Amino acid sequence: MDAPAQKSALSKFFASLGPDAFWAVFAVVFMALVAITKTLVTKGLFSDVNFEYPVVYSGISCIATDLMIIPLFATGVSKPEPLQREHWWGFLLCCALTAVDMGCMNLALNELSVSVQQALKASTPVLIIVLEYLLQGKRHSMYMIGCMIPLTVGPLMCAMGSNGGDVTLAGIIFMLGAIVSGAAKVVFLHKVIGKVKSTMSMVSVLFWMDLLMLLFVVPWAFANGEMGQVGGWEHLTSWYMWMMVFGVGVMGGVRAYSINLVLKYTSALTKVATDVFVQAATITLSIWIFSTSTSPIMIAGIFVTVGGYGCYSAVKYHQKQLAKAAKKAASSDKLRKDEVESLLEGRVPRSVAPAV
C-alpha cells in the first residue's frame, strides 16, 4: 500500500471512531499528565524553589482552585449550587479530613523523596481494609486480604533501602497522618460524599470543599508557624514566582476535573489502570529528575508496591462489578439472600459461577 493510500485508510479509521473515542483518549492522557506533573512540580516547588511551606501551599491550592471555578459560574459554563443543610455537618467533617490528608501529604512530600512518599501512599488500602473489618464488620475476600501483603512489605522495603536523606521520621509521621485521614474519610464518610455528589455538580462540590477546607488549613498554617515564615522566602518579591506557586496550586482542582472526565468518557477500569500507570511513572521520573539515590532493595520495594497496588485495584474493580450484579439480581429475585451476600463479599456463588 502506497503512502497516500495508507494516510487515507488511517484517516477513515479515526473518523470511524467518532468524537467519543477522541475524548476518551484525551481524558486518559490528560489525567495521567496532570497527576504526574502535579506531584513532581510540587516536589520541585519545595526542594528547588525553596517554598518549604506545605500547609500554606495547601491553602493556596484551595484558593487557586476556587478562583478558577468562579469564572465558570460567572460565564454560565457551570451552575453554582448551594450545599443543602442536611449535608452540612457530614460534608464539613469530610472537608476537615481532606484538609488533614492534603496538608500531611504535602508535609510528607517536603520531607521524603517522591518514590518513598508514593510507595507509602500506596499502602492506604491496607488501613481501609483493617478499619472496615474492625469498625464495620465488613469481610473481604482472600484475594483482597492477599493484596495487603505487598502493600505492607513494599513500602517498608522502599524506606529501608532509601538513602538517609530521602527518609525522615517527621516525613513518615506526616505520611501516616495522611494515610489515616484518607482512610477514615473513605470508611466513615463514603455515603455522605455520595449523597452530596448526587445533589450537586462536580464543580460545585469542588468549590464548596476547597472553600470549607480553608477553615482548617489557615489556622493550621498559623499554628505551625508557616504563615510567619513565608515573609522570609527568598523569592517573596518575585511576582512570577508567586504566579508559579498559584499555577501549581490550581493543578489540584484540575486533577479532580480530569478524574471526572475519565469516568465520563471511559470506565472505572480505565481509571484504575491509569492510576497504576501514574504511580509507576511518577516514581520512575522522580528518581531521574531529582537524582534520588537508589538501592536494589528500594527498587524491589517499588516493584512490589506498584504490583500490589495494581492487584488491589483489579480486585477492587472486580468486587464492584460483583456488587452491581448482586443488586441487579436481588431486585429481580434471581438469587437467594445468601448468594447475594456472597457476591457483595466478592465471592461468586455456584449458581452463577461459569461452567468449567
Q: Is the pLDDT of residue 354 over 50?
A: no
- Mean pLDDT value of segment 24-31: 87
Who has greater pLDDT, 93 or 317? 93
- Mention every residue, 6+ apart, whose C-beta is less than 8 A from residue 165: 293
Tell me the percentage of the chain whose pLDDT exceeds 70. 85
- pLDDT tens, 110-143? 999 898 898 888 888 888 888 888 877 778 788 8
The answer to whether the CB of 258 falls within 8 A of the CB of 271 is: no
Task: Tell me what the mean pLDDT of segment 26-54 comes to.
Answer: 92
Nearest partner of 38 among 53, 58, 52, judged by Cα:
58
Cβ(149)–Cβ(308) below 8 Å: yes
Return the C-alpha cell found at 51. Answer: 517554598
Quickly state the pLDDT bin for 15 (edges 50, 70, 90). Answer: low
Tens digit of pLDDT for each residue in 254-308?
888 888 788 777 776 677 778 888 888 898 899 888 888 888 898 898 899 888 8
Tens-place pLDDT, residues 166-180:
788 899 999 999 999
In the structure, what pLDDT confidence band is assigned to residue 345 with cuts at 50, 70 and 90? low
**CA–CA dist 116, 161 (Å, integer):** 10
| Alpha carbons 167 and 348: distance in angstroms, whole number | 43
Are 176 and 68 in contact by the 8 Å Cβ rule? The answer is no
Residues with Cβ < 8 Å from 263, sequence gap 6 or more? 271
d(CA 255, CA 264): 14
Alpha carbons 198 and 84: distance in angstroms, whole number? 11
d(CA 255, CA 346): 30
Query: Does residue 309 carry a pLDDT above 70?
Result: yes
Q: Mean pLDDT across the chain, nearest whole number?
A: 83
Binning pLDDT at 50, 70 and 90, where does residue 11 land?
low
The pLDDT of residue 312: 85
* pLDDT for residue 255: 86
Highest mean pLDDT among 15-19, 42-46, 349-353: 42-46
- The residue behind cell 455538580 is 201
Residue 200: pLDDT above 80?
A: yes
Which band of pLDDT confidence, cut at 50, 70 and 90, is reported for residue 337?
Answer: low
Q: What does pTM read for this prediction?
A: 0.81
Contacts of 259 (CB under 8 A, 6+ apart): 31, 271
Please report the pLDDT score of residue 331 as a whole number: 65
Hey, is 332 helix, strand or coil?
coil
What's the mean pLDDT in 310-321?
Answer: 81
- Residue 114 in contact with residue 233, Cβ under 8 Å? no
| pLDDT score at 177 | 94
In this prediction, residue 266 carries a pLDDT of: 77
- Would you call 126 exposed, middle or buried from its count of C-beta atoms within 10 A (0-12, 13-18, 19+)? buried
Residue 65 near residue 179 (C-beta atoms within 8 A): no
Q: For residue 8, count other CB atoms closer than 10 A to its CB.
A: 12
> What confidence score (pLDDT) does residue 7 get?
53
Task: Examine the pLDDT at 32 and tell me if it is beyond 70.
Answer: yes
58 band by pLDDT with thresholds 50, 70 and 90: very high
Answer with the residue of higher pLDDT: 119 or 337: 119
